[in-house]
Amino acid sequence: MRSSPSLLPILAVGAVIRNDAGQVLLVRRGRPPRQGEWSIPGGKVEWGETVRDALLREIREETGLTVEILGLIEIVDSFLKDTDGNLECHHVLLDYTARVLSGTLLAGDDALEACWVWDLDLDAYPMWSETRRIIAATRV
């Protein structure tokens, strides 16, 4: 792996949110990385922003929902490489569980779509294998 001291990992947050029926909330990404794929809502932590505030903001911007953060699931590294195998981007993702407090689901910001999905139907949604693993970790 090639090292580049001028590039630092990008800190990002995401949340597995389930409704009262047990469905998981998915958003379809409108921007890179993984543009067009389905994911859990989330995004980058901005300069001077707490992780908590970033997660609440990103969920509100992408889904229109206000949530309560319940707990950390896991920290995941995402390495995106170019066609020659050189590292292009490194994200450090802090993935949480959360529950909806208020709002009406509506895709916004960089989310092309947002929907509630049953676990049995997740295979129909193209997504990163780590996203699937994180969602599975929250199954009751």
One-letter amino acid at 33 equals: P
Q: Phi and psi (nearest 5°) for 123?
A: -60, -20
Residue 33: pLDDT band with limits 50, 70, 90? confident
Q: Is the pLDDT of residue 4 over 80?
A: no
**10-118 maps to CATH 3.90.79.10:** yes
Q: What is the pLDDT of residues 79-109, one digit of tens each?
A: 988 899 989 889 999 999 999 999 999 999 7
Between CA 41 and CA 95 the distance in angstroms is: 10
Residue spans of the domains in the chain: they are 10-118
What residues are labeled active site? Answer: 113
Three-state secondary structure readout of 47-85:
CCCCHHHHHHHHHHHHHCEEEEEEEEEEEEEEEEECCCC
pTM equals 0.90
